[in-house]
Amino acid sequence: MSTLTYADYLRMETLLSLQEPRIPETADRAVVLAEQFFIITHQSCELWLKQVGADLSAAADELMPPCDDHDLELSVEFLTRTSELLRVLHDQLLALEKLPVGYFAAFRPYLGTASGAQSAQFRQLARLLGRDEYAGSLYQAFVAAVEYRGLSVPDVCRLGARAGVLHRIAEALLEIGNGYWRWKVTHLALMSKMVGNQEGTGGSSGADYLALRITRPFPELRRIRGRLHES
């Protein structure tokens, strides 16, 4: 059996060749490196989104009836990891704040019509989590698991820790929803700082477009949980 090296396992040669700044190499070195930083940050986000999408899809699968305790515990594992990865995505935006605005303005024309709004993986995440009054596939699977156990979501919220693993799943969903919302708000703040009132590269209205798309997932779960204050 051939020896597997670290570089071969991670396909390092291919991975490190995927950053190709569009601004001419004759440009200021600092601007070229700034675009490389911009590319690496977005590529990293897409890699984490791949894991988030896979974990949330797996969590939804484990929640679908018939589901036993082992299935539900697995869903907690996937959901908990997703919550941490949303923190990673948030922190990457904080790192991107170190991109000087002048450098961004210098290489931004070379982006053409490329825009983060075109991310297929982000659209997949939106379908899983839902938005506004649309219950995504993940929450639908949670409701199915709760009903399979002979309970309702209000029952789970009222019982709290006494609902066992279903309570932990509900709390994990809320944590994911808040993490997603925090990530989007931070993205809006970053874009507002970087581009002001400029249009987005994909033809959107820029920061205004992002502001309209900031929602917190699982609105029904949050409403039901909030009613505990009324009792």
C-beta of residue 181 within 8 angstroms of C-beta of residue 216: yes
Give the pLDDT mean for 42-50.
Answer: 97
Domain interval for residue 212? 26-230
Identity (one letter) of the amino acid at 187?
Answer: H
Q: Give the confidence band of 192 by pLDDT, cuts at 50, 70, 90.
A: confident
pLDDT above 90: residue 70: yes
Residue 228: per-residue pLDDT: 84
- Please name the residue that has the structure tokens 């984490």: 48
Q: What is the mean pLDDT of the chain?
A: 91
Q: Is residue 8 part of a domain?
A: no
Other CB atoms within 10 A of residue 143 CB: 16
Q: Is residue 144 part of a domain?
A: yes
Q: Is residue 16 part of a domain?
A: no
**Local structure of 23: helix, strand or coil:** coil
Give the pLDDT mean for 83-108.
Answer: 95
Q: Give the confidence band of 175 by pLDDT, cuts at 50, 70, 90.
A: very high
Residue 135: per-residue pLDDT: 86
Residue 182 makes CB contacts below 8 A (sequence gap 6+) with: 86, 90
For the ranges 12-26, 101-115, 185-199, the lowest mean pLDDT is seen at 185-199
Please tell me the distance from the alpha carbon of residue 101 to that of residue 195, in angstroms, as a whole number: 8
Q: For residue 152, what is the domain's CATH number? A: 1.20.58.480
Residue 38: per-residue pLDDT: 97
Q: Is residue 9 part of a domain?
A: no
Token digits for 110?
A: 């070379």
Q: Is residue 178 part of a domain?
A: yes
C-beta of residue 210 within 8 angstroms of C-beta of residue 191: yes
- Specify the number of domains making up the chain: 1
pLDDT above 70: residue 161: yes
Q: Is residue 78 part of a domain?
A: yes
Residue 76 makes CB contacts below 8 A (sequence gap 6+) with: 165, 168, 169, 172
- Buried b or exposed e, range 3-32, using 16+ CB within 10 angstroms: eeeeeeeeeeeeeeeeeebebeeebeeebb
